[in-house]
Structure 1
Amino acid sequence: MTAAEVLPAVTPAGAETADLRVAVLGVGLMGADHVARLSRRVSGARVTVVSDAATDRADQVAAGVPGARVVPDPLAAIADPGVDAVVVASPGRFHEEQVLACIERGVPVLCEKPLTMDADSSLAVVRAEDAYTARTGQRLVQVGFMRRFDPEYAALRELVASGGLGEPLLVHCAHRNPAVPAGVTTESVVNDSVVHEVDVARFLLGEEIAAVTVLRPRSTRRAAEGLSDPLVVLLETTGGRLVDVECFVSTGLAYEVRTEVVGEDGSALIGLDPGPVRLSAGPGGAVRGSTAAPGFRERFGRAYDIEVQRWVDAARHGGIDGPGAWDGYAAQAVCAAGVEALRTGRRTEVRMEPRGGTRS
């Protein structure tokens, strides 16, 4: 399927067939992408409200969507009677207030990661949704860990779950960016990049992460002053499995994400383009059998489309279909341990509260 094709909506017999009316909060890079996705590639939904602190940007995005209007106040956008569901793509510091407002109003929300900026506030969202679920039987909060929807990751998860590799023992991950914006810190690499591997590990293995160790190899000459790059992160799961993550965010080459699961009876690797692969900054540049993805949107564009389509299909019936608030909290708890391990240079255990209610 090409990126321009519309993904089919899944509507049970007798269900409401009207388009889901969506408010998108924050229309920077990700939010604008989601507006375009909802308007052009996803069926069963339409963007009716756009909200952003930069009103000129909101006006520009809304102008390209028939019927969309700008509501500058995000809380007013959530409360708008012309809104059935919300995509939160605003800066992370606003997520807690906005997601809690969605729960209060009882509207499904797809929140880009992070769920909130720290584990304690993420847990508060979990508890608020748990209270809503106890009253209604429905879940409202989905977190944007889009790799779960990537066909390669979904197939790998199925292979692991079916026992096709035997008992999984190790997971090897590589997460490489050609460059990162100015101002990125080593701690933000853990919170914004390694967090994806944290969720991947939980998704593939079906268990929580118990401890984190962070190692700092010699840094690349391309790293900004004060940035340790690359990092090697070791995750220990509650079942005794190990996950190693190489996170290298200023390679100067391409966007590469690879994951290998090693089991008792075999191994499986995803993220390699067809053909031989060699990347070099020397004469000849990149030499490979096919073209490497220049960025995350190209690599995971299909995953985003599937994620949002499935969210729309579920939200039209008042629910979600994907990683939930607990997954957002778990990722924040692991990253908090990762940041502590980074600061201390020591193995750090993950501190998580017990799950109350049914896991989302």
Structure 2
Amino acid sequence: MGDLLGVAVLGAGHMGADHIRRLDEVVSGARVAAVADPDVERAKAAVAGRDGVAVHTDAVAALDAPDVAAVLIASPGPAHEEALLAAFERGLPVLCEKPMVPDSTGALRIVEAEARLGRRLAQIGFMRRFDAGYLRLKSLLDGGGLGRPLMLHCVHRNVSSPAGFTSAMLINSSVSHEIDAARWLLGQELAAVTVLRPASSASAPRDLVDPQFVLFETERGALVDVEVFVNCGFGYQVRCEAVCEAGSARIGDEHAMVVTAAGAATEEVAQDYLVRFADAYDREVQTWVDATRHGEVTGPTAWDGYAASAVAEAGVRSLETGGRTAVDLAARPGLYAARPGG
């Protein structure tokens, strides 16, 4: 096992357990060396049958476990700041699931801490940047053949929302992916946001504002709209259409298996983000492992994590007030000099 990158996985829930499986069964060049979760039985279940994995209830203790050389954070968002700062203190490269830190003040502390180090250690888990469809769209837009992008039309639908899901979480949990994808695809910061509230679906839990219609304005005048509907009832769908000066391009219409029988044809609709973006997660983690083994850090930065939190906060304020809300970003440290699409 000495040739493999030893990874401490923090969090053994739905996402963390999937990353544990991915690291040991899909990704090459790495192994799970430690796992931490407050629920020790859940942690043990996630690593059952895997040899040489230290199990902890304390995240920081897992970072100090033998053979740990990198960290994958898949714990709930409020636990991320402490884990990231502890990893920085130890010089450990980190892949941190979004949100990097739920509030922009805490996210800015992460940016400032990493900037003081003078080198990048954190990659933030905006996996859509690794999805084949998004990569093709990014390449097309960067090539300039369709002219300047003017608008992005986005759809983000879930079968149902989990217990405890709030109206604000449609923005800061679900739409945070569109926030990062729009910044990356367009190479621009988002400058303002307006959230509109259609009549809520009868399928939405009581007091949940669902669906929502979110409109972003970029710093150079493009518009991005997002329909977010987390209790659509029929499946998990993510689509994005770029409308440019000389044409348009849409992703998310890829066909799954189609079954024809009894005089009808039916097409599968993914029921879960881990199904829809399975390849993207695999590619994201493999890219992170490869870069880490070469002493490099690539992918979405801590600045991207901070920007997503700041934009989402502006979106929540717009949801609450019903008005257009400007996005207030701190000065970008030199460590993150590249534009969002870089």
Report the TM-score when normalising by structure 1: 0.89
Cα distance per residue 1:39-66 (max 9 Å; x no partner): 0000000001011100011112222212
Task: In structure 1, list runs of 5 or more residues that go unmatched.
Answer: 1-16, 278-286
Match runs of 1:130-279 below 5 Å: 130-133=115-118, 138-274=119-255
Indicate which of 299, 319, 322 corresponds to 2:296.
Answer: 319
- Tell which deviates more after alignment, 221-230 or 54-63: 54-63
| C-alpha RMSD of matched pairs (Å) | 1.5
- Is residue 105 of structure 2 the alignment partner of residue 128 of structure 1? no
One-letter amino acid matched to 1:105:
R
Q: State the one-letter code of the partner of 2:245.
A: E
Identical aligned pairs, as a percentage? 53
Aligned letter for 2:69? D
Q: 1:106 aligns with which of 91, 101, 107?
A: 91
Q: How many Å separate the matches in 2 of 1:94 and 1:24?
A: 13
> In the alignment, residue 113 of structure 2 is paired with which amino acid?
A
Q: Which of the residues 13, 17, 21 maps onto 1:32?
A: 17
* 8 Å Cα contact 2:11-2:74 kept in structure 1: yes
Aligned length: 330
Normalised to the residue count of structure 2, the TM-score between the two structures is 0.94
**Matches of 1:305 and 1:71 in 2, distance apart?**
25
Alignment of 1:85-100 (within 5 A): 85-100=70-85
> Could you list the per-position Cα deviations for residues 142-175 of structure 1 after superposition, in whole angstroms to 9, with x for gaps in the alignment?
1110000000001100100110211100000000
The one-letter code of the counterpart of 1:314 is: A
For the residues of structure 1 that align with 2:218 and 2:147, how far apart are their CA atoms? 17
Q: Hey, what's the Cα distance between the residues in 2 that align with 1:64 and 1:154? A: 36
- Give the match for residue 276 of structure 2: 299
Give structure 2 stretches of 5+ with no counterpart. 259-263
SS at match of 1:274: coil
For residues 47 and 54 of structure 2, the distance between their equivalents in structure 1, rounded to whole angstroms, comes to: 6
Q: Which residue of 1 aligns with 2:261?
A: none
What is the identity, as a one-letter code, of the residue corresponding to 1:248? F
Task: Name the CA distance, whole Å, in 1 between partners of 2:231 and 2:283.
Answer: 29
* Aligned amino acid, residue 356 of structure 1: P
Q: Which amino acid aligns with 2:238?
A: V
Q: Is residue 347 from structure 1 mapped to residue 340 from structure 2 by the alignment?
A: no
Per the TM alignment, residue 288 of structure 1 is displaced from its structure 2 partner at its CA by 6.7
Question: How far is 1:268 from its partner?
Answer: 0.2
| Aligned partner (choices 50, 57, 81) of residue 42 of structure 2 | 57
Q: After superposition, what is the alpha-carbon deviation per residue over 1:191-210, rounded to whole angstroms, capped at 9, x for unaligned?
A: 11011110110010011000
